[in-house]
Chains A and B, each alone.
Chain A
Amino acid sequence: MTRRIVLRAALVTLVALAATFLLDPYWNFQVARFAACFAAVAGLTVLVGLTGQLSLGHSVLMAAGGYGYAFAAGSVTGALGDSPAAPYAGLLAGLLGGLVAAGALGALLGAAAARLHGPYLAGLTLALVIALPSAAVAVPGLGGDQGLGAPFVPVPDALAALMYVEHFHAVVAIVVAAAAVTPLMLLRAGRQGLRMRAVLGHETAARLSGVNPGLVKAGAFTASSLAAGLGGAVIVMATQSVSPGAFGLTFSMLLVVGAVIGGLGSIGGAAVGAALVVLLPWAVETVLDQLPAGLPPVLAQRLDGNLAVILTGAIVITVIAARPGGVAQLLTPRTTARPTASHDTER
């Protein structure tokens, strides 16, 4: 089982890496964004789908990963100075820093999440998203509304003939996303995944069978945060800056929507959801640009971004009402449909 999952993940990663050679810089930048969102949505979908804990705050976990990246990468790159290896040591340190920052915040939240259920956890994580801009101002060293800059990672000399900057960043993003998502797949398929489903199905029954629901929930939250943190770190590497505005409420809700549309609990669904989060704004913009110059500039500016959000909102309501299993349910036959959070016991 483990070997099959790892092989499949490696194969998908290789195909994705090969595909980046066919894309132009703009699309490779979008690939990096997609890979980051994929890691976060995959973390969220495992959390919500398998344990039923709804987090509205995954953008903050991404932000934690981003700040961790900016801080660690900045320190290490600065300390190594002119050494040619400095940016890459910084990259590795940054990813590690992102993991540590998001993991620490996730473990704290997980400890709270272990005791909460339903709307209470959603409310707490919502309060976290709303508090993020304040935290960036109030905590010294986070750079306020402007945020922090992250060091530029150039293409290594060995690959300079093959790649340009955006391409290299997309490659790094794909590798990191694979490193973030593969453990989630193993977790989901293994013993811990079974425990999570047991806790979701009936907490008291799970406890009677020797499963500690608190530990399972806290563990799931922490694992989910690590994936989101890596996603945040990757996005900061590609954009070279991290600020609270980039990880606001709308983005956080988009991550939830991505997980729901893809099908809660499904990693393949998370890829579809993340693609939607990245592609829909682009698609709407393209359609608007095709319109014969009829739109006044003020209206065009207001439609930009907002129209995609409206469409996403409408899609998520339709999906949860008509096909609660999301895209994943369309692809798998009904008999093998995986249990999702909307299936509850007859309590």
Chain B
Amino acid sequence: MDRLVFLVAAGLAHGAVLALFAQSLVIVWRANRVINFAQAALAVVAVYAALAVTAVSGSWWLGAFAGVVAGGLLGAAAERGPMRLVPTHTPLPGIIVAIGLVMILQAGLAIAFGPEYQPVPAPLSERPFVLAGIPVLSPYDLLVLVVAGLVMAALALGFTRTSLGLQLRAAAFAPETARLLGVRVSRMITLGWMLSLATAALAGLLLVPTELGLHPHALDGLFVQAFAVAVIGGLDSPAGALLAGLLVGVLVSLVSGYLVAAAAPLAVLALLTLVLLVRPGGLFSAAKERAA
């Protein structure tokens, strides 16, 4: 019982990070209907930048801020640079450019910082509080939950309640019409990528202290889990991503706690396969055209 409570609590904290990263995939999807397969590689570059700032300034918070800014800049650079080179009406060219980007960024990081895992200290204690004799969340887990919750709430409000959010959604939903109505579509898409990568960088920053450390491939697993989350929650639905994130987080935590840690990626793979087989276009997709 104790173990179950602890695992569920830890799973919720991990789930919050997953939901946050999945949110970043949802934002890019909503901005221009692509799934950015370079998301993890771009985010890990921002995390390296954050750690460099932390090492120089001595403050984790300053580093985190720098990481988020770096994420936004990288998002703009990726969208304005390589992603603009190919048409987006079919998914294939965009995915291939993203693969090229992943190879360049990850190999570049391995050259610059070496292949070793760099330990990343957490800004708060990772020793869990003990409630009624049961170890539950640590202060750091609480921080993760609070930050992830606040950022997701802010994004949801921004997208639904502000003029800018409306423009972002209009540019993604009907680019031609939006352009006729005076929305700067191209700028909105870039802005969407900036928001997305800033969110992804934040999720990466929150994740690395709880894992082995920083490494060019440190966020690959996060990307796969967040992809599963985004598909389960529906690529268009931020609330769905949050719920699915917590669900997958708890699942991963339970599987690695009760079976072996190595089984977690297999569990995610099984879940993803199951969901895609039941709903091939993601759980909340609408049919594109009548096929029969």
Contacts and interface: CB of A to CB of B under 8 A. Distances in A.
Interface of A: 48, 52, 54, 56, 112, 115-120, 122-124, 126-128, 130-131, 133-135, 137-138, 203-204, 207, 249-250, 253, 256-257, 260, 298-299, 302-303, 305-307, 309-310, 312-317, 320-321, 324, 341-342, 344, 347
Query: How extensive is the interface on chain B, given as a class?
Result: 35 or more
B121 interface: no
B272 A256 contact: no
Contact of A138 (B34, B86, B266, B268): B266
Contacts of B101: 313, 317
7 contacts: A56-B99, A116-B276, A131-B269, A138-B266, A204-B289, A257-B100, A306-B111
Contact of A321 (B86, B260, B281): B86
A119 B35 contact: yes
A302 B110 contact: yes
Nearest to A254: B103
Given A112-B277, A310-B103, A342 B111 contact: no
Contacts of B85: 317, 320-321
B273 A124 contact: yes
Contacts of A313: 99-104, 107
Interface in B240-279: 260, 262-266, 268-269, 272-273, 276-277
Contacts of B277: 112, 115
B93 interface: yes
Contacts of A130: 220-221, 224, 265, 269
A307 B85 CA distance: 23
Given A207-B291, A250-B103, A131 B92 contact: no
Nearest to B90: A344
Interface of B: 34-35, 37, 82, 85-87, 89-93, 95-97, 99-104, 106-108, 110-111, 114-115, 217, 220-221, 223-224, 227-228, 231, 260, 262-266, 268-269, 272-273, 276-277, 280-282, 289-292
B268 A127 contact: yes
A292 to B, nearest CB: 20
A21 B92 CA distance: 41
Given A138-B266, A306-B111, A312-B103, A324 B34 contact: no
A310 B107 contact: yes
Contacts, number: 163
Contacts of B96: 54, 256, 260, 316, 320
- Most A-side CB within 10 Å, residue of B89, B91, B101, B260: B91
A342 B111 CA distance: 33
Contacts of B276: 112, 115-116, 120, 124
A248 B233 CA distance: 28
Residues of B contacting A: mostly:
helix
Nearest to A49: B92
A192 B118 CA distance: 51
A137 B260 contact: yes
A122 B37 CA distance: 9
Nearest to A341: B92
Nearest to A122: B95
Contact of A120 (B103, B110, B280): B280
A128 B111 contact: no
A309 B93 contact: no
B91 A138 contact: no
A131 B265 contact: yes
A52 B92 CA distance: 8
B11 to A, nearest CB: 18
B107 A316 contact: no
A133 B264 CA distance: 11
A122 B90 CA distance: 13
Contacts of B217: 249
A314 B265 contact: no
B222 to A, nearest CB: 10
A249 B92 contact: no
3 cross-chain pairs, A with B, having the tightest CB-CB distances, nearest first: A313-B103, A321-B85, A309-B107
Contacts of A253: 99, 102-103
A204 B272 CA distance: 26
Nearest to A121: B276
Contacts of B103: 250, 253, 257, 309-310, 312-313, 316
A131 B277 CA distance: 18
Nearest to B110: A306
Contacts of A128: 269
Given A123-B272, A321-B85, A316 B99 contact: yes
Contact of B268 (A131, A137, A204): A131
A303 B114 CA distance: 9
Nearest to A320: B96
Given A120-B280, A122-B37, A302-B115, A134 B224 contact: no
B104 to A, nearest CB: 4
B119 to A, nearest CB: 19
